């Protein structure tokens, strides 16, 4: 039996990269998976097919977590389709990098909206059902950049730092109802997005990491399994750094 057998999870932004890795590991651990995607219906369909091989229920939803009403509707649809909800993984995120002097207001606003407001929207949407059943696990995806900052990423760093403060507050508010809220702060994770980077840049990144490699989506997914499962039942309001030692 998997560590998440019989539990239902919502994972936002799961058609590729880290989100897809989380969805795959969750299904292999026995979780029923409801995931969101923003545009690629084809990728979503193929993920549905891939995950259903684990004998769990899987469904993709085209939904924008940055939209308050869509988040409410998504949770209502998932409860209707799956019957229960136990875990929320807030993973959806974007970057629009630029030096502050060149960053437009639109680029600042959209990153805050997709990365940070979505966490508010989705947490608010699941709260009622979690409170009713007096249990639930929320895992929010921050970043090493939200902890130590990064030149050219003031918008992204602000959104990811905001997630940490938000999550610690939620942990304090909902702890008495046995609802846990934790954060994962990934370091340099190698995905389809980083594959487009110049090879020398990637080598430079790797050499600066104590473990001398980039992380994989599975490294993040395994940490998500731990924070979503009963193994971490006495852990809330924490930030788990999964970064190969970048911050030590």
Contact 240, 227 (CB under 8 A): yes
Q: How far apart are CA 24 and CA 107, in angstroms?
A: 31
Output the six-digit token pair for 51.
């995950």
* Bridge partners for 180 per DSSP: 137
Q: How many residues does the chain have?
A: 248
Find out whether 246 and 186 touch, Cβ atoms under 8 Å.
no
Determine which one of 37, 61, 156, 234 is catalytic.
156
Q: CA 67: distance to chain centroid?
A: 17
Distance from C-alpha of 11 to C-alpha of 84, rounded to nearest angstrom: 14
Which helix (H) or strand (E) element contains residue 145? helix 144-148
Tokens of 128: 């009622």
C-beta separation of 181 from 239 below 8 A: no
The Cα 241–Cα 169 span in angstroms is 19
Annotated catalytic residue 156: yes
Q: Which residues contact 168 (CB under 8 A, 6 or more apart)?
A: 181, 237
Angle at CA 194, nearest 5°, toward 188 and 195? 135
As annotated, the active-site residues are: 156
């Amino acid at each position: 039996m998997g560590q998440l057998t019989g539990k239902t999870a919502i994972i936002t932004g799961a058609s590729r990269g880290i989100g897809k890795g989380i969805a795959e590991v969750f299904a292999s651990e026995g979780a029923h998976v409801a995931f969101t995607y923003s545009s690629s219906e084809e990728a979503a369909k193929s993920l549905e097919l891939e995950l259903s091989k684990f004998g769990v229920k899987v469904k993709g939803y085209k939904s924008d977590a940055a939209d308050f009403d869509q988040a409410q509707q998504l949770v209502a649809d998932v409860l209707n389709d799956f019957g229960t909800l136990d875990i929320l993984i807030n993973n959806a995120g974007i970057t629009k990098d630029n030096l502050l002097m060149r960053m437009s207001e639109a680029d600042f606003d959209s990153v805050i909206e997709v990365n940070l407001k979505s966490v508010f929207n989705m947490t608010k949407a699941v709260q009622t059902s979690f409170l009713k059943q007096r249990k639930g696990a929320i895992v929010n995806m921050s970043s090493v950049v939200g902890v130590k900052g990064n030149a050219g990423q003031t918008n992204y760093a602000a959104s990811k730092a905001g997630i940490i403060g938000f999550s610690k507050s939620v942990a304090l508010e909902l702890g008495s109802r046995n609802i846990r809220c934790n954060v994962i702060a990934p370091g340099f994770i190698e995905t389809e997005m980083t594959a487009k980077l110049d090879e020398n840049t990637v080598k430079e990144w790797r050499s600066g990491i104590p473990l001398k490699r980039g992380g994989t989506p599975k490294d993040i997914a395994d940490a998500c399994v731990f924070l979503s499962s009963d193994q971490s039942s006495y852990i809330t309001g924490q930030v788990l750094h999964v970064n190969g030692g970048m911050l030590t």
